[in-house]
Amino acid sequence: QEHAASDLKFTVAGKRGVFDVTPLTMRAYSGQGSGNLRADFTGAVPRYQLSYTLAQFHVDAFLKPLSPKNVPEGSADLTANLSMQGKTVKAIRQTLQGKVSLRGKNLILKGRDLDQEFDRFESSQTFNLVDVGAFFFAGPVGLAVTKGYNFASILQGSEGRSVIRTLVSDWNVERGVALSQDVAIATTKNRVALQGGLDFVNERFDDVTVALIDDKGCIRAQQTIHGAFNNPVVENPSTLKALTGPVAKLLKQVGSLFPGGECEVFYAGSVAPPK
């Protein structure tokens, strides 16, 4: 099985209650993993420090448990630098600090033409942006938070294909809450970005917003998800075009007066707009 971890190798060196597991290497999802772990038992509470990189792992092998068909093809890099302390899993989770990053290029999604669906989305709003968000962004984190929501629905299509040219998913972890730092994908024609937090202590979505954005990084359409991981509330999507009545009319008039007008920038990260 290509998703199984194999070739696990490590050396443990210990001195006065401090143990270093280095180098810690293994293959997982057809990628090569390497890193080190330090466990410090000198204080009242055990402390742990983990640095780990899984290079060029196969996204399809990783996501196959979600859905056996139409899994995205391609490889990505995962890096994690985390510290934690405690005697129980709960305590360790509450003290989790550090950074997690998932990055990939030219991932292929068969069975769905995301660009076509994004174009339709602004007029019909039948498409679920949160599907795209969780699927591509949360990555390893995503599988942990998908138990209450059928994210695999994005894989059920049978027409078209999509190229995810760039995937960046950088998170800061503070006290067991992962906060989005730079989280976005670029397809051939569009960008989708995510903002918000994943609270692993209370197992909740912390005001997560997924947005289809324009070249300036301003919102074209957005959708939010909040509540418990196992029973999340996904709000209906909203788009600027969905505004009706005098407010929309006024905004359009203001927009025509200032065609290059200011908009609230939702995303200003490293994923550039498609050319």
pLDDT tens for residues 171-230? 999 999 999 999 999 999 999 999 999 999 998 989 899 899 999 999 988 888 888 888
Mean pLDDT value of segment 69-96: 90
Instruction: Give domain status of residue 9, yes or no.
Output: no
Q: What is the pLDDT of residue 126?
A: 60
Percent of the chain with pLDDT over 70: 75
Of 4-8, 31-35, 180-184, 210-214, minimum mean pLDDT range: 4-8
Asked if 257 and 140 count as a contact pair (C-beta separation under 8 A), the reply is no
Asked if 221 and 122 count as a contact pair (C-beta separation under 8 A), the reply is yes
Asked if 263 and 218 count as a contact pair (C-beta separation under 8 A), the reply is yes
Q: CB atoms < 10 A from the CB of 93, how many?
A: 16
Q: What is the pLDDT of residue 69?
A: 64
Q: What is the pLDDT of residue 225?
A: 86
Q: What is the pLDDT of residue 239?
A: 63
Q: What is the pLDDT of residue 192?
A: 93
Instruction: Give domain status of residue 19, yes or no.
Output: no
Strand partners, 51: 36, 81
Does residue 70 register a pLDDT over 70?
no
Q: How far apart are CA 163 and CA 161, in angstroms?
A: 7
According to DSSP, the β-strands at 18-28 and 191-199 are: unpaired
Q: What is the pLDDT of residue 39?
A: 93
Instruction: Give domain status of residue 3, yes or no.
Output: no
Residue the block writes with tokens 């984190």: 141
Cα torsion angle, 168, 108, 205, 220, sign: positive
Residue 202, CA distances (Å) to 92, 181, 199, 256 in order = 13, 20, 6, 46
Does residue 165 register a pLDDT over 90?
yes
Instruction: Give domain status of residue 184, yes or no.
Output: yes
Torsion of CA 256, 258, 260, 261, to 10 degrees: -110
DSSP symbol at 237:
P
Q: Which DSSP helix (H) or strand (E) runs through 117? A: helix 114-124
- AA letter at 191: R
3-class DSSP assignment, residue 47: strand
Residue 143: give the domain boundaries: 53-257
Strand partners, 55: 32
Instruction: Give domain status of residue 83, yes or no.
Output: yes
- AA letter at 41: F
Of the two residues 150 and 28, the one the predictor is more confident about is 28
Q: What is the pLDDT of residues 108-133, one digit of tens each?
A: 888 778 888 888 776 665 667 777 76
Of the two residues 9 and 168, the one the predictor is more confident about is 168
Among 86, 111, 66, smallest CA distance to 176 is for: 86
* Burial class of 239 by CB neighbour count within 10 A (0 to 12, 13 to 18, 19+): middle
Instruction: Give domain status of residue 23, yes or no.
Output: no
Asked if 99 and 80 count as a contact pair (C-beta separation under 8 A), the reply is yes
According to DSSP, the β-strands at 191-199 and 204-213 are: antiparallel
* Burial class of 207 by CB neighbour count within 10 A (0 to 12, 13 to 18, 19+): exposed
Q: What is the pLDDT of residue 243?
A: 45
Instruction: Give domain status of residue 25, yes or no.
Output: no
Does residue 139 register a pLDDT over 70?
no
Q: What is the pLDDT of residue 244?
A: 44
Peptide bond into 72 cis (omega under 30): no
Q: What is the pLDDT of residues 217-255, one digit of tens each?
A: 999 888 888 888 888 888 877 765 444 445 544 554 555
Q: What is the pLDDT of residue 156?
A: 58
Of the two residues 251 and 168, the one the predictor is more confident about is 168
Instruction: Give domain status of residue 93, yes or no.
Output: yes
**HSE (CB half, 13 Å, CA atoms) of 8?**
4
Number of structural domains in the chain: 1
Strand partners, 177: 174, 199
